[in-house]
Structure 1
Amino acid sequence: MKQTSSNTALMVYAIRPRIQAEKKAVFGSEHFLKSLALFERLQENTKRIVSESGLEAIWIFDDLQEGKTFGERYAKAFSDLFQQGYDQIISVGNDIPGLEASHILEAQTQLQNSQTILGPAEDGGNYLIALSKSSFEEETFFQLPWNSNKLHQAIKSLFQANEGSVFQLEYLIDIDDFDSLTRFKADLKSGDFFRFISHLLRSILAYIQEEKNFLWEVIPTKDNPLRAPPALLP
């Protein structure tokens, strides 16, 4: 495996778009394909960003990792890369719409002064975790409260206790549900991703209106008490 001259790996620890769409159902289970389109777009956006960073990107998919829990699998990914000879690892996910190459490059720069860099997400998790080999301990790492709103504070406290200093990037929004998507859209003014989200939302609103019109046609009202109930329609 080719390594960069700085001996820093950029690990994209990804959950496949289909699995993301099934678990998060941003637009509800009846709009699965819309959720799938969203996470596929986020993954394509991540590919562009890591390419722009200029660092070697190593993609690791969670469903192919060994381990019973997310924490075990994620910790094993770090451990495997450190064993391959990397001294520093910058890890990002594939569902952060506000992530930019500048966040990754800032983490790379700050790793020269600190052993731990954290990019906190507004839901209490982290969109970026950058570690030095000397600060990593696999068993302690996988026992952190992963997939909870307590993760950022827990990992920050752990590495502050061990090293005394943790560099923190700006907060970003992690897309977990419809509310987080609309909050992110509210921060946008224009651009391809803004137009993509707007198109998704408009198509869903059109579907809801069409469904509403259908119900008005088949459900009897006071003005039309003789209309057959839906169960009796051919």
Structure 2
Amino acid sequence: MKHSNSKIALLVYAICPRIQAEKKAVFGSIHFQQSLALFEKLQDRTQRIAQESGLETFWVFDDTQVGKSFGERYSKAFADLFQQGFEQVISVGNDIPGLEVAHILDAKSQLQNSQTILGPAEDGGNYLIALSRSHFEEKSFSQLPWNSNKLHSAIKGLFQNQNGSVFQLEYLIDIDDFNSLTRFKAELKSGEFYRFIIQLLRSILTFFEKGEYFFNDRITSKDNPLRAPPALNF
């Protein structure tokens, strides 16, 4: 099916909040509900930003996409939009608390001068990837080191070798664990999302103050970063 209106699509390639909460366990495995609330909040925020961008937006959830690996599934999402007639695709995830509509609009503007726009994440990945159809090759894109700290340098090298034109946005933090969340909170300092994070941390602190952590500490898996109240410095 050909698309005849906008030349640029916004692709939100998302991991559903429940899967994010299970895999990342930001607050530890015994605080699943707080992790779920965090990723649901991030998804709601991403929906608002996508609407504000004014771009035609397509949501693709990784667990419903066809492909054996993340790279194959993600590449297919780009390929499908290019096949619909879009000339350029801007892709973001749903776990970047620092993402603003300005990042998307900046990528849209820079696509007029560059074929590739990258928003690097501090963990070595990317929170935004904007590509032009003329420089997209599905197989090589799918074989990049996805979900690793080498991704940004690899994808930058791939497209620089193709056309030498890569524009880089500012670095942002994506939420992979408790430490990345607290780093973001320290940078944020105020605002609605900051207050939401503080509320989550206080709910966990209340849990500790009741003494329940004393019993759970003996049965909780070692992935729990909140094994005692000192971890909650806010």
Task: With the length of structure 1 as denominator, give the TM-score of the two structures.
Answer: 0.89
Distance in 2 between residues matched to 1:13 and 1:41, nearest whole Å: 16
Amino acid at match of 2:154: A
What do residues 46-104 of structure 1 show as CA deviations (whole Å, max 9, x unaligned)?
A: 01111111111110111110001100000000001100110000000000000000000
Q: Decide whether aligned partners of structure 1 residues 83 and 213 sit closer, same or farther in structure 2, where only a CA change above 3 A counts.
A: closer
- Tell whether 2:85 aligns with 1:60: no
Distance in 2 between residues matched to 1:89 and 1:209, nearest whole Å: 48
Contact preservation (8 Å) 2:117, 2:129? yes
Instruction: Name the SS of the counterpart of 1:170 in structure 2.
Output: coil
Corresponding residue for 1:15?
15
Corresponding residue for 2:142?
142
Contact preservation (8 Å) 2:6, 2:86? no
What do residues 137-179 of structure 1 show as CA deviations (whole Å, max 9, x unaligned)?
A: 0000000000000000000000000011200000000000000
How far apart are 1:6 and its partner, in Å? 4.1
Distance in 2 between residues matched to 1:78 and 1:179, nearest whole Å: 31
RMSD over aligned CA atoms reads 1.5
Distance in 1 between residues matched to 2:140 and 2:213, nearest whole Å: 56
How far apart are 1:211 and its partner, in Å? 2.2
Distance in 2 between residues matched to 1:213 and 1:60, nearest whole Å: 38
How far apart are 1:4 and its partner, in Å? 7.9
Distance in 1 between residues matched to 2:205 and 2:77, nearest whole Å: 41
Q: Decide whether aligned partners of structure 1 residues 71 and 202 sit closer, same or farther in structure 2, where only a CA change above 3 A counts.
A: same
- With a CA cutoff of 8 Å and minimum separation of 6, indicate the structure with the bigger relative contact order: 2
Distance in 2 between residues matched to 1:3 and 1:57, nearest whole Å: 13
After superposition, residues 1-234 of structure 1 pair within 5 angstroms as: 5-211=5-211
Contact preservation (8 Å) 2:4, 2:85? no
Task: With the length of structure 2 as denominator, give the TM-score of the two structures.
Answer: 0.89
Corresponding residue for 2:230?
none
Instruction: Name the SS of the counterpart of 2:94 in structure 1.
Output: coil
Distance in 1 between residues matched to 2:213 and 2:33, nearest whole Å: 22
How far apart are 1:189 and its partner, in Å? 2.1
Distance in 2 between residues matched to 1:67 and 1:211, nearest whole Å: 46
Following superposition, which runs of at least 4 residues in structure 1 exceed 3 angstroms of deviation? 1-6, 212-215
Structure 1 gap segments, 5+ residues each: 216-234
Distance in 2 between residues matched to 1:72 and 1:180, nearest whole Å: 27
Structure 2 gap segments, 5+ residues each: 216-234
What do residues 97-127 of structure 1 show as CA deviations (whole Å, max 9, x unaligned)?
A: 0000000000000001110000000000000
Contact preservation (8 Å) 2:111, 2:117? yes
Distance in 1 between residues matched to 2:189 and 2:97, nearest whole Å: 14
In our comparison, the structure showing a higher alpha carbon Rg is 1
Distance in 2 between residues matched to 1:79 and 1:158, nearest whole Å: 17
Q: Decide whether aligned partners of structure 1 residues 214 and 77 sit closer, same or farther in structure 2, where only a CA change above 3 A counts.
A: closer
Instruction: Name the SS of the counterpart of 2:210 in structure 1.
Output: helix
